[in-house]
């Protein structure tokens, strides 16, 4: 029997603490609230409590997805976690999630393609199901705990980033499901945006911390403001060509949730109605890798999600610059 991955259910989680633009302004000592709403679309965001960490956010989202799918944690064969704000440099966050979730029979690994990571992990989960008949259920989860890496004196970053998690449970079926994916990268921008302290290139030794500060997210050099509008159409078209579809065949577009104005411009550029897109950055801020699955889960929760037979396209980009797109047919 042909085995094709299907998305059985989704889940998302945001911490309880709401941080408004006005609170961010007070913390930074600088007013950016009006500019942020007008140019980015962010009005508030969520930050985790001191007792929480990235794996905790993921576990909450995963429990929702598993419950909706009717799958018990011990039935999972594989847990793939996408994050660039891991609990630790080592061991992986996925193994922490496996333990906290009680998924004792699942193998684990992490993916770090920055904010393109969840879509990248989704592709991997789909291919495991298609090629290994011992793998029946895969949890593809993403977590973002960027509040732990903010420099509150930096108005370029402190007002954008937030915390949250999203997850999808994949299962095997005999109809699509998964249709195709496509990947691009522009590695010359690897040193433009990221968390550069703490790794082997700049370890958190006392001397480095004194010179560069603790590991924190930073824009180091400029990349083109039109980067996404320039590369996303090519990225998406590559996936659509593999699937034998056109832009008109897509019913739901889920983009990286950094900037509402970019999504508006993109939908106009590809000739699609804005109603086909969904966004959550206005209320949840920018949640990095899991933002696309969080947006889909929110659309479903609000009655705007895909219906059986409709096509969904995920499109994400992140530091590196890494880019990933994936096309799915909804089966539930």
276 band by pLDDT with thresholds 50, 70 and 90? very high
Residue of 49 and 224 predicted with greater confidence: 49
The string of pLDDT tens digits covering residues 118-161 is 999 999 999 999 999 999 999 999 999 999 999 999 888 999 99
The string of pLDDT tens digits covering residues 49-88 is 999 999 999 999 999 999 999 999 999 999 999 999 999 9
For residue 121, the Cα-to-chain-centroid distance in whole angstroms is: 10
Per-residue confidence (pLDDT) for residue 229, from 0 to 100? 87
The string of pLDDT tens digits covering residues 290-317 is 999 999 999 999 999 999 999 999 999 9
Percent of the chain with pLDDT over 90: 89
CATH topology of domain 4-174: Peroxisomal Thiolase; Chain A, domain 1 (3.40.47)
Domains in the chain: boundaries = 4-174, 180-187+221-329
Q: Which residues pair with 144 in a beta bridge?
A: 164
For residue 325, the Cα-to-chain-centroid distance in whole angstroms is: 12
Tell me if the bond preceding 277 is cis, omega within 30° of 0.
no
Instruction: State the SS3 of the chain.
Output: CCCEEEEEEEEEECCCEEEEHHHHHHHHCCCCHHHHHHHCCCCEEEECCCCCCHHHHHHHHHHHHHHHHCCCHHHCCEEEEECCCCCCCCCCHHHHHHHHHCCCCCEEEEECECECHHHHHHHHHHHHHHHCCCCCEEEEEEEEEHHHHCCCCCCCCCCCECEEEEEEEEEEECCCCEEEEEEEECHHHCCCEEECCCCCCCCCCHHHHHHHCCCCEEECCCCCCCHHHHHHHHHHHHHHHHHCCCHHHCCEEEECCCCHHHHHHHHHHCCCCHHHECCCHHHHCECCCCHHHHHHHHHHHCCCCCCCCCEEEEEEEECCCEEEEEEEECCC
How far apart are the C-alpha atoms of 123 and 130, rounded to whole Å?
A: 11
221 band by pLDDT with thresholds 50, 70 and 90? confident
What would the mean pLDDT of 176-204 be, rounded to a whole number? 94
Whole-prediction pTM value?
Answer: 0.96
251 band by pLDDT with thresholds 50, 70 and 90? very high
| Architecture of the domain whose range is 180-187+221-329 | 3-Layer(aba) Sandwich (3.40)
Per-residue confidence (pLDDT) for residue 1, from 0 to 100? 63
The string of pLDDT tens digits covering residues 208-219 is 898 888 899 988
The string of pLDDT tens digits covering residues 8-42 is 999 999 999 999 999 999 999 989 999 999 999 99
- Asked if residue 113 has pLDDT above 80, the reply is yes
- Fold match between domain 4-174 and domain 180-187+221-329: yes
Per-residue confidence (pLDDT) for residue 323, from 0 to 100? 97
Mean pLDDT over each residue of the chain, to the nearest integer: 95
Q: Which residue spans within the chain are E strands per DSSP?
A: 4-13, 17-20, 44-47, 78-82, 107-111, 137-145, 163-173, 178-185, 193-195, 217-219, 252-255, 311-318, 322-329
110 neighbors 123 (Cβ within 8 angstroms): no
Of the ranges 87-96, 179-188, 226-235, 262-271, which one carries the lowest mean pLDDT score?
226-235
């Amino acid at each position: 029997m042909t085995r094709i991955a299907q998305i059985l259910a989704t889940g998302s989680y945001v911490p309880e603490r709401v941080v408004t633009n006005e609170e961010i302004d007070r913390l930074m000592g600088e007013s950016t609230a009006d500019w942020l709403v007008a140019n980015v679309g962010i009005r508030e965001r969520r930050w985790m409590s001191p007792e929480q960490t990235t794996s905790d956010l993921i576990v909450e989202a995963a429990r929702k997805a598993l419950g909706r799918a009717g799958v018990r944690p011990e039935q999972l064969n594989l847990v793939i976690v996408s994050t660039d704000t891991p609990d630790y440099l080592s061991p992986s966050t996925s193994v922490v999630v496996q333990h906290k979730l009680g998924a004792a029979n699942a193998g684990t690994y992490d993916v770090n393609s920055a904010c393109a990571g969840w879509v990248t992990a989704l592709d991997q989960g789909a291919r495991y199901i298609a090629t290994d008949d011992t793998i029946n259920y895969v949890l593809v989860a993403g977590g973002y705990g960027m509040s732990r890496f903010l420099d509150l004196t930096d108005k370029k970053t402190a007002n954008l980033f937030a915390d949250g998690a999203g997850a999808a449970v994949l299962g095997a079926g005999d109809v699509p499901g998964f249709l195709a994916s496509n990947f691009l990268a522009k590695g010359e921008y690897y040193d433009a945006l990221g968390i550069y302290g703490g790794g082997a290139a700049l370890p958190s030794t006392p001397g480095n911390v004194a010179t560069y500060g603790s590991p924190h997210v930073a824009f180091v050099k400029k990349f083109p403001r039109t980067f996404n509008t320039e590369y996303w159409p090519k990225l998406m078209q590559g996936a659509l060509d593999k699937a034998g579809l056109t832009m008109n065949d897509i019913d739901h577009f889920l983009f990286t949730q950094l900037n509402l104005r970019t999504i508006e411009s993109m939908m106009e550029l590809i000739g699609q109605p804005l109603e086909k897109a969904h966004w959550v950055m206005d209320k949840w801020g920018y949640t990095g890798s899991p933002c696309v699955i969080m947006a889909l889960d929110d659309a479903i929760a609000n009655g705007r999600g895909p219906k059986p037979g409709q096509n969904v396209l995920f499109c994400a980009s992140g530091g590196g610059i890494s880019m990933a797109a994936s096309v799915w047919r909804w089966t539930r």
